Amino acid sequence: MGGVARRATAISYVRKQPGRHVLLLDAGNALFGQRLATESQGQVIVEAMNAMGYDAMAVGGLDLSAGFEVLKQRAKEASFAILSCNIVHLQDDTPLFTPYVVVQRNGLRYGIIGVSEPDVANAPELASAARVADPMQSLQKYLPELQQQSDVIIVLSHLGLDEDKAIAQAIPGVNVIVGGKTRRLLQTPEMVGSTIIVQAGYDGEWLGKLDVTIAAAGKLVDPQVDIIPLGPEVADHPELAALVARYNQLYPPPTPAAN
* Number of C-beta neighbours around residue 143 at 10 A: 22
Sign of the C-alpha dihedral, residues 74, 76, 79, 85? positive
* Binding pattern for the stretch 211-240 against other proteins, x by CB under 8 A and - elsewhere: xxxxxx---x---xxxxxx--xxxxxxxx-
202 contacts other proteins (rule: CB under 8 A): yes
Q: Which of 89, 104, 137, 246 binds other proteins (CB under 8 A)?
A: 104
- Stretch near other proteins under the rule CB under 8 A, chosen from 1-9, 84-92, 131-139, 165-173: 1-9
Q: How many residues bind other proteins (CB under 8 A)?
A: 118
Secondary element (H or E) of residue 135: helix 135-148
* Binding pattern for the stretch 161-200 against other proteins, x by CB under 8 A and - elsewhere: ---------------x-xxxx-x-x-xx---------xxx
**Residue 236 Cβ vs other proteins, minimum distance, rounded to whole Å:** 6
37 contacts other proteins (rule: CB under 8 A): yes
The phi and psi torsions of 236 (rounded to 5 degrees) equal -70, 135
Question: Per CB under 8 A, which of residues 63..92 are in contact with other proteins?
Answer: 75, 78-83
- Stretch near other proteins under the rule CB under 8 A, chosen from 24-32, 85-93, 117-125, 129-137: 24-32
41 contacts other proteins (rule: CB under 8 A): no
Cβ–Cβ under 8 Å, residues 193 and 160: no
CA distance 188 to 77: 34
In 3D space, the residue among 108, 146, 143, 114 whose CA is nearest the CA of residue 22 turns out to be 108
* Degrees to nearest 5, angle at CA 151 with 106 and 11: 55
Question: Per CB under 8 A, which of residues 111..150 are in contact with other proteins?
Answer: 149
